Amino acid sequence: MAIVAVSISPTGAGTSVGAYVARALDVLEAQTEVRFELGPMFTTLEGDLDAIFTVVRRMQEAVFEMGAERVGTVLKIDDRRDKAATMAGKVESARSRKRSRPES
């Protein structure tokens, strides 16, 4: 299972891109193969990597359909093969390590 951070931005759309983000979110909410969490800078996706690539492509197309002539997409992929990884598991791992740190 892969965990992917994605940011999709239209170029030349002005300073506010919230409507474009909302349209990409519509694409995510309409599908069931990829789990997701919307964040302030990136959206995190979790699932099969091929399914993630497919949904990211749909998100890009949705932004183009709104009239964008150029779209920049940033992906950061964590594709772990040695054990199952989830968004929740990664967060809990970091939090548990923080709690177990010795105080100085």
**DSSP characters over 3-36:** EEEEEEEETTS-S--HHHHHHHHHHHHH-SSSEE
Mean pLDDT by 10 residues, the chain (104 residues): 94 81 96 96 96 98 93 95 84 81 65
Residue 50 belongs to what domain range?
2-100
Task: Please tell me whether residue 44 adopts helix, strand or coil conformation.
Answer: strand
Total-model pTM = 0.85
Q: What is the CATH number of the domain that holds 69?
A: 3.30.70.930
Task: Please tell me whether residue 2 adopts helix, strand or coil conformation.
Answer: strand
Region class of 12: left (phi > 0), else alpha (psi between -120 and 50), else beta:
left
Give the total number of structural domains in the chain. Answer: 1
